[in-house]
Amino acid sequence: MNIASLLGIFLALTALPGCHGPSSTAPSATVSPPVATSPLPPAIVEVPAATAIADAGPDAPPAIASSGVFDEPVVDRRIFREVLVGALPSPPRRRTWTFTRGASRARLTIACQTGSKGAHSTGASWLRLSGEENQESQWLPAIAAEYVGEQRGTSPLSFRFSLVSGPSDRAACGVLHPAILFTCRPSKVLVLRAGAAIVVGRKGPNDEIPPHHWSPSARESVSSLRCEAEVEGDAGYASVTLWHDVAFEFAAGKHGSPGVEWAFENSDMVIQDGGYRWMP
């Protein structure tokens, strides 16, 4: 077969469908439209509960650990502290509560402390509300416990909390009930200055107990979220707080203080008195 015949066969084949030669134009690519995404809510990453609570300094309130990441954007976070000292409480106790709220969920984290060995105020064998109870050396390192819960109502604001972590030894935190209920309303509370102390006077001939007063005695009216707590299923005898019938006063920080505390001294026939004051 001559060259002319071969060339004719080649041209005939390239004319068939699907037998085109290489093209200088690249095939067009199919472009998919971009996928719409919503921004993720901000996550609050906190220290695992197994991690020791850090020491923030000799006079700083204890840092608070948590079991994980709060799964909602935070609406509000406030701190309240309880201080119970005196001749009768053994040991003296201090609990710092952090109340974190989201749109529908909430968390209560507690830093529990007991008095260190030999903790006492000058002139007494026990710790008093003398101002010396604010020294961190009077307290052992904090141990964490945590409640998580859901909002149940909006008017008033109410929550049900379940205990999810805490020390097995009740001596560390006191009694932590399995389920507690919060009912919260905007309120006003009279607050003493940070470090206000109870000064005990001399007992007179007709006095059953010696007179006492707060120093300084000035109080200011502070806006707060007052939360009354009760134990779920209880007939009214159990107490959530260290001292009975005390409301949680969650006030925004002020004067450099992170929040309000309830401080109570229980020394039986010497003194039984307490009050709200700014945390130092």
Print burial letters for 176-201: b (CB count within 10 Å at least 16), e (below 16): bbeebbbbbeeeebebbbeebbbebe
Kindly indicate the confidence band of residue 70, based on its pLDDT and cuts at 50, 70 and 90: low
Backbone angles phi, psi at 247, to 5 degrees: -90, 150
Give the pTM: 0.73
Over residues 209-219, the mean pLDDT reads: 91
Task: In whole angstroms, give the CA distance from residue 210 to residue 16.
Answer: 117
Distance CA 99, CA 21 (A): 74
Distance CA 135, CA 137 (A): 5
| Residue 62 to residue 141: CA distance in whole angstroms | 8
> Of 94, 101, 110, 99, which is closest to residue 146 (Cα–Cα)?
110
pLDDT digits (tens, 9 = 90+) for 19-29: 444 444 444 44
Evaluate the CA torsion angle 193, 211, 123, 274 in order and state its sign: negative
Q: Write out the residue range of the structural domain in which residue 49 sits.
A: 44-57+71-278
User: Is the residue at 264 inside a domain?
Assistant: yes
Summarize pLDDT for 98-149 with one digit per residue, the tens: 999 999 999 999 999 999 998 998 888 889 999 999 999 999 999 999 999 9
**Is 81 a domain residue?**
yes
List the structure tokens of 174. 């006191």
Q: CB of 121 within 8 A of CB of 161?
A: no
Q: Are strands 259-266 and 76-85 parallel, antiparallel or unpaired?
A: parallel
Residue 167 lies in a domain: yes
Residues 113, 119, 121: CA angle, nearest 5 degrees: 120
On whether residue 12 sits in a domain, the answer given is: no
Does residue 11 belong to any structural domain of this protein?
no
**DSSP SS3 for 122:** coil
Domain count, the chain: 1
- The answer to whether position 18 is within a domain reads no
Residue 198: inside a domain:
yes
Specify the pLDDT at position 126. 85
What is the Cβ-side half-sphere exposure of residue 183, based on CA atoms within 13 angstroms?
A: 6
Cα separation of 98 and 239, whole Å? 18
In the structure encoding, which two tokens stand for residue 11, read together?
């041209």
Whole-Å CA distances, 152 to 149, 161, 184 = 9, 10, 11
The verdict on residue 271 lying in a domain is: yes
Determine the pLDDT at residue 59.
Answer: 40
Residues paired with residue 80 on neighbouring β-strands, in sequence order: 97, 260
The mean pLDDT value for 143-168 works out to 93
Sign, CA dihedral 196-57-115-141, equals positive
Residue 90 pLDDT more than 50? yes
Query: Which three-class secondary structure state does DSSP give residue 7?
Result: helix
For the stretch 180-212, pLDDT in tens is: 999 999 999 999 999 999 998 887 787 777 788
